[in-house]
Chains A and B, each alone.
Chain A
Amino acid sequence: MSSLMTPRLLRNLLPAISLTVLLLAIFYLQPRAMSYLGLNLLLNLALPIAFATLAQMCMMTVNDLDLGIGAYVGFVACIGATFLRDTPALGVLMLLACVAAYAALGALIHLRNLPSIVVTLGMSFVWLGLALLVLPTPGGKAPDWIRAIMTWKTPMLPFTIYASVGVALIVHIILMRSAYGAVLRGVGGNARSVERAGWSLLRAKVTMYALAGVFGIFSGLALIGLTTSADANIALRYTLLSIAGAILGGGEFVGGRISPIGAVIGATTLTLAGSFLSFLRISPDWQIGAQGGILIIVLALRILINRAEAK
């Protein structure tokens, strides 16, 4: 029994192990990081990436991929730094409309049987265009309450750590522990059998897309809470980071195999990887390559574990 459990346990623990190894390496290179301020500086930008990764993970749950999440987060940031501050009611309404748009996308993709990659890639240009309309040149100002939350000096550990852990647990309970969560993941695993069992596939897709829209909003708002103002191009790299984070955290592109806790850990690992490489003083020309190297190592480990599991 226990020998059978080991590879699986290892697989689940792999994201956490990668994070720990990376964190220890950073502490070794830069002992200054081992403080409240240090942890905050290292990790605060991981929170918006973690939210974007959760949004991406929602799409992956139903076997879809979102190539527009970065531009969407940028759009939310632009709304947050303009309308949400000046006319809160209108701002909230616009954000709700964003979620509705995501839900509608899910419905469209399901009903017309379109490839999600194409639709979301197309939408990325729409989001970017809208963001430029809202905020043609960088600027705006984050609402004070968002700024206050993101710079909240919590006791013992920085706010970003509490927030990451809290969000990971909540999403874990919703998607991994609840009955409907199992159905949602089943859509990614075997859509036909879920449908035969009487569940609406349309409803499942719309739910997951709307959820992705909600996490995208959290990501954008958390981001402007840190940067204080917005820029239409602010989060374009989140698209690829979120995919990498979700995969690094133990998710799979198909099969509804996801891990909310892993996704948050994956996003944090990716953020730390950047800091680690810059503490190592690796030339920026090599950094992207080195970041890719870290990804490959972790994924290679996972395949090894999977093989052991298969045996």
Chain B
Amino acid sequence: MTTAKWITLAAGTALALAAALQPSVADTSGKKIALSNNYAGNSWRQAMLKSWTKNGDAAVKAGVVAAADAFTTAENQVTEQAAQIQNMILQGYDAIVINAASPDALNGAVKEACDAGITVVSFDGIVTEPCAWRIAVNFKQMGKEEVIYLAKNMPEGGNLLEIRGLAGVFVDDEISAGIHEGAKENPQFKIVGSVHGDWAQDVSQKAVAGILPSLPEIAAVVTQGGDGYGAAQAFKAAGRPTPLIIMGNRQDELKWWKEQKDANGYKTMSVSIAPGVSTLAFWVAQQVLDGAEVPKDLTVPFLRVDQHDLEEKLAGTEVGGVANVEYSLDEAKKVIMGK
């Protein structure tokens, strides 16, 4: 018992000494950063992982960090991701970047990581544990923006169909809350139906096709991204006039919009978060490791495509992908400084 205590004490002293001997200016070239991602099953997540890998590999090659490994859990389950984070602690990563399966239920694992001296940065799916950094998107504002656009372009108002995301996920609640708030402020719009499209075109198409027969004339469809193209197909199959469908920056959505625009001057807008936000999270983690002062809560702007820049954004989006912006170190620093 006492021997064990002595060993612990000696080890502790040695560690403290080692820490004191390190130069005060941090150098991140020896640091390892890991990405803990909970889900990879849609085009947005695929683009997000691709951005991470591209940016991370370049950073490793340039000697900015020693490693930038990405890990995705297979079943999108909280307990699985908690175990994954605990494994990363053991693997000796210096920073863990998280896209979380749940804002609260990973807090135990995140706390373990912080206690082990690891920098934790969460983005998109953020965690509420105070020791972690959060790169959040104002999803509520994003939903509201859709209705504001409609109010501007459809002053006479009309019936709205809402396509929601995955039930029980915080992002879905936020966007939907924003849409409903917008509809409340613009009473000429009435949400007459709401379905869950799970951010996937096929699911959305089925869901919309199922509810359409029971609905009156629809003026516009408010969406959350990854569901606009499916909704358009459902309207077409039912032989109903195509309403104004808000898009979500997916390549198939933008392409369909372009086709309609060329054929009959179809007007809409498209809004979503750039999957390249993973690269911002990477640089934030790197900056924290570097010793920079970074506020715990950061907000990223969403990426919006309008009638005039549709062609340009579509051209820059690969087939099956999502319109994207990737961050460089300097751009990330600007976001950190709040510019």
Is this pair of chains taken from one and the same complex? yes
- Minimal beta-carbon separation of A285 from chain B (angstroms): 7
Find A41's partner among B77, B79, B90, B102 (CB 8 Å cutoff): B90
Please, how many angstroms separate the alpha-carbon atoms of A8 and B79 in the complex?
35
- The interface stretch among B103-111, B186-194, B269-277, B280-288 is B103-111
Decide if A298 is an interface residue (CB 8 Å cutoff).
no
Decide if A64 is an interface residue (CB 8 Å cutoff).
no
- Minimal beta-carbon separation of A143 from chain B (angstroms): 14
Decide if A260 is an interface residue (CB 8 Å cutoff).
no
Choose among A44, A233, A236 the residue with the greatest number of B CB atoms under 10 Å from its CB.
Answer: A233
Q: Which residues of A contact B116 (CB under 8 A)?
A: 37
Decide if B181 is an interface residue (CB 8 Å cutoff).
no
Find A285's partner among B4, B74, B77 (CB 8 Å cutoff): B74
Q: Give the nearest-CB partner of A44 in chain B.
A: B86
Please, how many angstroms separate the alpha-carbon atoms of A33 and B90 in the complex?
6
Please, how many angstroms separate the alpha-carbon atoms of A185 and B106 in the complex?
38
Decide if B170 is an interface residue (CB 8 Å cutoff).
yes
A227 B71 Cβ-Cβ under 8 A: no
Decide if B87 is an interface residue (CB 8 Å cutoff).
yes
Q: Which residues of A contact B84 (CB under 8 A)?
A: 278
- The interface stretch among A114-122, A131-139, A165-173, A202-210 is A131-139
Decide if B138 is an interface residue (CB 8 Å cutoff).
no
A140 B104 Cβ-Cβ under 8 A: yes
Q: Which residues of B contact A232 (CB under 8 A)?
A: 168
Please, how many angstroms separate the alpha-carbon atoms of A136 and B172 in the complex?
12
Decide if B75 is an interface residue (CB 8 Å cutoff).
yes
- Minimal beta-carbon separation of A139 from chain B (angstroms): 5
- Minimal beta-carbon separation of A168 from chain B (angstroms): 21
A41 B104 Cβ-Cβ under 8 A: no
Q: Which residues of A contact B109 (CB under 8 A)?
A: 226-227
Please, how many angstroms separate the alpha-carbon atoms of A232 and B89 in the complex?
26
Please, how many angstroms separate the alpha-carbon atoms of A32 and B86 in the complex?
12
Choose among B129, B168, B173 the residue with the greatest number of A CB atoms under 10 Å from its CB.
Answer: B168
A30 B90 Cβ-Cβ under 8 A: yes
Q: Which residues of B contact A32 (CB under 8 A)?
A: 90-92
Contact with B along A228-242 (1 / 0, CB 8 A): 111111111110000
Please, how many angstroms separate the alpha-carbon atoms of A139 and B128 in the complex?
9
A226 B103 Cβ-Cβ under 8 A: no
Decide if A59 is an interface residue (CB 8 Å cutoff).
no
Q: Give the nearest-CB partner of B92 in chain A.
A: A32
- Minimal beta-carbon separation of A294 from chain B (angstroms): 14
Contact with A along B54-93 (1 / 0, CB 8 A): 0000000000000001011111011110111011011110
Decide if B217 is an interface residue (CB 8 Å cutoff).
no
Find A228's partner among B4, B107, B173 (CB 8 Å cutoff): B107
Q: Which residues of A contact B108 (CB under 8 A)?
A: 226-228
Contact with A along B166-201 (1 / 0, CB 8 A): 001010010000000000000000000000000000
Q: Which residues of B contact A45 (CB under 8 A)?
A: 79, 82-83, 86
Find A278's partner among B4, B71, B77, B102 (CB 8 Å cutoff): B71
Q: Which residues of B contact A279 (CB under 8 A)?
A: 87, 90-91
Decide if A223 is an interface residue (CB 8 Å cutoff).
yes
Find B102's partner among A42, A138, A281 (CB 8 Å cutoff): A138
- Minimal beta-carbon separation of B211 from chain A (angstroms): 21
Please, how many angstroms separate the alpha-carbon atoms of A235 and B101 in the complex?
12
Please, how many angstroms separate the alpha-carbon atoms of A238 and B74 in the complex?
14
Please, how many angstroms separate the alpha-carbon atoms of A223 and B90 in the complex?
20
- Minimal beta-carbon separation of A277 from chain B (angstroms): 10
Please, how many angstroms separate the alpha-carbon atoms of A237 and B108 in the complex?
19
Given A45-B79, A45-B82, A137-B173, is A228 in contact with B73 using a C-beta cutoff of 8 Å?
no
Choose among B71, B87, B89 the residue with the greatest number of A CB atoms under 10 Å from its CB.
Answer: B87
Q: Give the nearest-CB partner of B100 in chain A.
A: A138
Q: Which residues of B contact A233 (CB under 8 A)?
A: 77-78, 102, 168
Given A30-B90, A278-B87, is A138 in contact with B77 using a C-beta cutoff of 8 Å?
no
Decide if A271 is an interface residue (CB 8 Å cutoff).
yes
Decide if B297 is an interface residue (CB 8 Å cutoff).
no
Please, how many angstroms separate the alpha-carbon atoms of A279 and B83 in the complex?
12
B75 A234 Cβ-Cβ under 8 A: no
- Minimal beta-carbon separation of B312 from chain A (angstroms): 34
Find A229's partner among B40, B83, B104, B112 (CB 8 Å cutoff): B104
Q: Which residues of B contact A275 (CB under 8 A)?
A: 83, 86-87, 90
Decide if A274 is an interface residue (CB 8 Å cutoff).
yes
Please, how many angstroms separate the alpha-carbon atoms of A48 and B173 in the complex?
29
For window 23-60 of A, CB contacts with B under 8 Å fall at 30, 32-33, 37-38, 41-42, 44-45, 48-49
B86 A41 Cβ-Cβ under 8 A: yes
What are 28 A-B pairs at a CB distance below 8 A?
A30-B91, A32-B91, A41-B112, A136-B168, A138-B104, A138-B105, A138-B168, A227-B78, A227-B105, A227-B106, A227-B107, A227-B109, A228-B104, A228-B105, A228-B107, A228-B111, A229-B104, A234-B78, A235-B79, A236-B77, A237-B79, A238-B79, A271-B83, A274-B80, A274-B83, A281-B69, A284-B73, A288-B74
The 4 closest A-B pairs by CB, nearest first: A229-B104, A41-B86, A231-B105, A228-B107
Given A228-B107, A229-B104, 19 further pairs, Cβ under 8 A: A32-B90, A33-B90, A41-B90, A45-B83, A48-B79, A132-B168, A136-B168, A139-B103, A226-B82, A226-B108, A227-B106, A230-B104, A233-B102, A233-B168, A235-B79, A274-B83, A275-B86, A281-B69, A287-B74
